[in-house]
């Protein structure tokens, strides 16, 4: 990360949800290293405190951490209000929060789990933007974090994949609705080992099987997803909206 020279987010304020570990934390770190004041959040205070300390240990001072379960209306509004109180504006929103409570076939999934997947992975993303929308500056950027699984849902994670497919449509719909002042794009990561996606590296055989699906014959990193997200959120992508960038090492996804 020491190679980063660009300061594309100097003077900008970014909110990243589910950002105390994995891809979310990687995105928050990248935006902060490029000059953004970053607001990070997740469901547990302990995780928030630890993530803030990790970022500060890397020399990042402009970071605020808040507890926010994105499905909780009060906590969501608090996230926006506290950001405005401290920084006065919002330039970037990265919607990264997602759950996958169970790995079971779609038609065997309990209704309560279907509801939870929809509530957290799709509905909360819309409601977050309803709250943030009035505060977004002209030239602001919204990024949804989808998944390669949105193009081809995996059998054991089918409903999770379907919620990620929904984000592809949401990107298109909101890009049209929020234009011309706000750009809306999406990043679809492939196989990136994180705690959330621990199954990828559960054992050596699993790891190798996922590596073989890619053209680059390796797994991705959180830094690589963060770099793609930072590009789309920055003015370097000022003529790009309504698009999804797949960061998956050439894993087949679409024509």
Tokens of 5: 């020279």
Which among 191, 146, 188, 190 is positioned nearest to 167, based on CA atoms?
146
- The C-alpha atoms of residue 94 and residue 231 are separated, in whole angstroms, by 12
DSSP annotation of 183 reads E
CB count in 10 Å sphere of residue 207:
16
What are the C-alpha distances in Å from 219 to residues 142, 143, 172, 191, 210?
26, 22, 28, 6, 7
* DSSP structural state of residue 122: I
Spatial separation of the C-alpha atoms in residues 13 and 80, rounded to whole Å: 11
* Given the residues 87, 151, 160, 239, the one annotated as active site: 160
**What would the two tokens of residue 84 be?**
């405005």
Q: Which of 96, 98, 79 is nearest to 87 (CA)?
A: 79
> Is 199 a known active-site residue?
no
User: Looking up tokens 């970022």, which residue turns up?
Assistant: 55
- Residue 242, Ramachandran bin (φ over 0: left; ψ between -120 and 50: alpha; else beta): left
Q: CA-to-CA distance for 154 and 161, rounded, in angstroms?
A: 7
Residues taking part in catalysis: 160
């Amino acid at each position: 990360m020491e190679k980063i020279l660009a300061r594309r987010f100097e003077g900008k304020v970014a909110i990243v949800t589910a950002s105390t570990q994995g891809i979310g934390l990687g995105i928050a770190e990248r935006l902060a290293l490029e000059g953004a004041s970053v607001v990070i959040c997740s469901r547990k205070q302990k995780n928030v405190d630890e993530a803030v300390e990790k970022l500060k240990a890397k020399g990042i001072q402009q970071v605020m951490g808040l507890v926010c379960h994105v499905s909780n209306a009060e906590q969501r509004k608090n996230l926006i209000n506290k950001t405005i109180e401290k920084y006065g504006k919002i330039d970037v929103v990265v919607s990264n929060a997602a759950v996958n409570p169970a790995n079971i076939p779609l038609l065997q999934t309990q209704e309560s789990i279907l509801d939870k997947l929809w509530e957290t992975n799709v509905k909360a993303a819309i409601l977050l933007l309803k709250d943030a929308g009035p505060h977004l500056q002209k030239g602001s950027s919204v990024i949804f974090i989808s998944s390669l699984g949105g193009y081809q849902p995996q059998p054991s994670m089918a409903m999770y994949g379907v919620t990620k497919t929904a984000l592809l449509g949401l990107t298109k719909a909101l890009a049209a609705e929020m234009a011309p002042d706000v750009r809306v794009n999406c990043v679809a990561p492939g196989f990136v080992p994180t705690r959330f996606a621990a199954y990828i590296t559960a054992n050596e055989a699993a790891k190798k099987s996922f590596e073989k699906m890619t053209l680059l014959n390796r797994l991705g990193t959180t830094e690589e997803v963060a770099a793609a997200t930072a590009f789309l959120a920055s003015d370097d992508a000022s003529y790009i909206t309504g698009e999804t960038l797949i960061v998956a090492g050439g894993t087949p996804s679409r024509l």
